[in-house]
Amino acid sequence: MDFIEDIEVGRGRSQKTAENYHLYLERLIEFAGDITVDKITYNMVRKWRLWLNRYRNENGDNLAPITQNYHLIALRSFLKYLARRDVDSLAPEKIDLSKNEIKETSYLTTEEVERLFAAVGTKSEIDFRDRAILELLFSGGLRVSELCNIDRDKINIKRREFMVRGKGKKDRPIFISEHAAAALQDYLDTRHDQEKPLFISLSTSDKKTISRLTPRSVQRIVSKYAFAAGITKHVSPHTLRHSFATDLLMNGADLRSVQDMLGHSNISTTQRYTHITDPRLKEVHQKFHHKEN
């Protein structure tokens, strides 16, 4: 499909985004059949939304509301693509997204972060690797996909900084603490291979199988140590990214700088943290709300 190629090549989106858009539009075809674009009407889209709400995947699970919205975003992008080429179809602005409840931002306290790190051993190659993973997620505010894609020749431990390519193929600098740099150096000192990826899988058998760690593998690693540390809340790699941002803002960093460090294209995404990081709000509430005369 020309549209899918345009997503990746013309608009510079990632291959994964293009694949997802293809999947979402395939589900439209699954619902409506192989129709021509002039048959895409508001009423048809309304019925498709109901179909998506009742849809079950191969595991028997319903689509989350935000995933349903991704389907609509893909369709709206396709309709914009048609409009730019003067092809008659439904106007893109007629596709409204559902209002999703914003999930509460979960983060770790300083004490919980310390417990998480303390749960990692200091004996095996896997221990050193896992500590470096946790330190980089928290110290650099990395997305898990960014962490997994790092090559070790791109890391400058002495300068404690490196570049990653984030969403929309945008590069941004990552800065890490002395603790994270030391953990990374300890891990690299255990490596005797010449493989390119920074973080690799290590089998426990005599014959080691080396491959780049996947985001799912990193998720399991984080969950393992959160459980070992006795942290009852759900902890994911993204929780450490939230913790990074929260720590910066609680210690006085300005919102715009945090936006840049997180790689958010829109500052409204970063503003989700302000309600939990402005201690003055609670002071104002206690001082002025419902005072007795």
Instruction: Report how far residue 134's alpha carbon sits from residue 139's, in angstroms, rounded to the nearest whole number.
Output: 8
Instruction: Report how far residue 161's alpha carbon sits from residue 109's, in angstroms, rounded to the nearest whole number.
Output: 25
Instruction: Report how far residue 77's alpha carbon sits from residue 260's, in angstroms, rounded to the nearest whole number.
Output: 26
Instruction: List the catalytic residue out of 13, 76, 131, 241.
Output: 241
Name the residue type at position 199: F
DSSP annotation of 97 reads P
Instruction: List the catalytic residue out of 22, 49, 115, 167.
Output: 167
Burial-class residue 44 by CB neighbours within 10 Å (0-12, 13-18, 19+). Answer: middle
> Is residue 174 classed as helix, strand or coil in its secondary structure?
strand
Instruction: Report how far residue 171's alpha carbon sits from residue 174's, in angstroms, rounded to the nearest whole number.
Output: 10
Whether 234 is catalytic: no
Instruction: List the catalytic residue out of 13, 71, 76, 143.
Output: 143
Whether 238 is catalytic: yes
Instruction: Report how far residue 137's alpha carbon sits from residue 115's, in angstroms, rounded to the nearest whole number.
Output: 15
Instruction: Report how far residue 149's alpha carbon sits from residue 151's, in angstroms, rounded to the nearest whole number.
Output: 6
Residues 31, 49: contact at Cβ < 8 Å? no
Whether 56 is catalytic: no
Whether 167 is catalytic: yes
Whether 264 is catalytic: yes
Whether 280 is catalytic: no
| Residues identified as active-site | 143, 167, 238, 241, 264, 273
